[in-house]
Amino acid sequence: MLIDSFDRVVDYLRISVTERCNFRCTYCMPEKPFSWVPKEQLLRFEELFEFVKVAIDEGIKKIRITGGEPLLREDLDRFIKMIFDYAPQIDLAMTTNGYLLKEAAARLKAAGLRRINISVDTLKADVAQRIAQKDVLAHVLEGVEAALAAGLHVKINMVPMQGVNDAEVLDVLEYAKARGVTIRFIEYMENVHAHSDVKGLTSQMLLEIIAQKYRFEDEGFDGHSPSHYYRMEDGYRFGIIEPHKDDFCATCNRIRLTAEGQLIPCLYFDEAMSIRDAVRRGDIKEAAAVLREVVRIKPEKNRWSEADGERSTRAFYETGG
């Protein structure tokens, strides 16, 4: 079992399989052009899988594939099947923008994927274009339907932003509710890559909007996810991910692996250790030692609310959010 210095059990690994993305979301990507990491620096699926086996043997119970956009990585279902065949009990999930999901959903399910979180920030084509910098809405919504039809357990993620999609909080909630799917609103996390004019909604602002139409009870955290859940009178639950709250990190159980093999103890901090050379050499002992050390140095708290200069310079599209 992996236990950090603050007695938190770390049993959740998020793997960013690529930093590349077919969207340019304003809250995630810079305005100016930038260059991607050269492909040869990325770990092949076989190399990532060497580490995954170590992580599972050390105590990881849940794995989420993310990115960038994970569905840009060719043969992703093959990687998922490798993990599933090694450990069918692992809770295997993915986060995607949904654009390529229509074609991929059934294959991902057949490979062993259980759950999928799809980002739906708006139901308006022009707003989607403004956020993603591309005409994406129709493909994303088709992706949601394909995931449901394939039998994947779906959740919707929305990042509400002032003056952009804040008028649609109830619409997106009702879109998810109509499909029996949980929605999680993610408070915008300030970062040095996002467009400078992006302003998020706080959880308090969100609750006030939802309370204009619905009554709900605070259910607190469910212990397994960073979401604070609320239950409506008809039983429907929605969540808010609120990293600015003081107690957000108290139950953090996760570490992150980038496509280059950087193992990251906390999304907020720049610290990371590489497992790339160890897996390329086939040195399983060294990979396990790096994993234990990254868990050991996991900080107690993030500092999202602090000034710009204090934040991590690593991008969300690199770490997988």
Which residues of this chain interact with ligand SAM, rule CB under 6 A?
21, 27-28, 66-67, 69, 95-97, 119, 157, 159, 186, 188-189, 191, 194, 316-317, 320-321
Query: Closest CB to ligand SF4 among 239 and 320?
Result: 320
291 binds ligand SF4 (CB under 6 A): no
21 binds ligand SF4 (CB under 6 A): yes
Query: Closest CB to ligand SF4 among 206 and 315?
Result: 315
Query: Closest CB to ligand SF4 among 185 and 317?
Result: 317
Residue 225 binds which one of ligand SF4, ligand SAM, none, with CB within 5 to 8 A depending on kind?
none
Residue 268 binds which one of ligand SF4, ligand SAM, none, with CB within 5 to 8 A depending on kind?
none
- In the complex, minimum distance from the CB of residue 298 to ligand SF4, in angstroms, rounded to a whole number: 24
Binding footprint of ligand SF4, residue count (CB under 6 A): 12
Quickly list H helices, the chain: 45-58, 76-86, 101-111, 125-132, 137-149, 169-178, 203-211, 276-281, 284-296, 316-319
Q: Which of 44, 2, 54, 41 is nearest to 287 (CA)?
A: 54
Quickly list H helices, 247-315: 276-281, 284-296
Residues 62-91 contacting ligand SF4, CB under 6 A: 67-69
Query: Closest CB to ligand SF4 among 69 and 242?
Result: 69
Q: How far is CA 57 from CA 53, 87, 270, 274, in A?
A: 6, 10, 27, 19
Residue 248 binds which one of ligand SF4, ligand SAM, none, with CB within 5 to 8 A depending on kind?
none
Residue 29 binds which one of ligand SF4, ligand SAM, none, with CB within 5 to 8 A depending on kind?
ligand SF4
**Which residue is it, tokens 């899988």?**
49
Q: How far is CA 222 from CA 76, 205, 227, 251, in A?
A: 30, 22, 8, 10
User: Which amino acid type is present at position 92?
Assistant: L
Query: Closest CB to ligand SF4 among 97 and 203?
Result: 97
Instruction: Give the whole-angstrom CA distance, residue 283 versus residue 229.
Output: 42
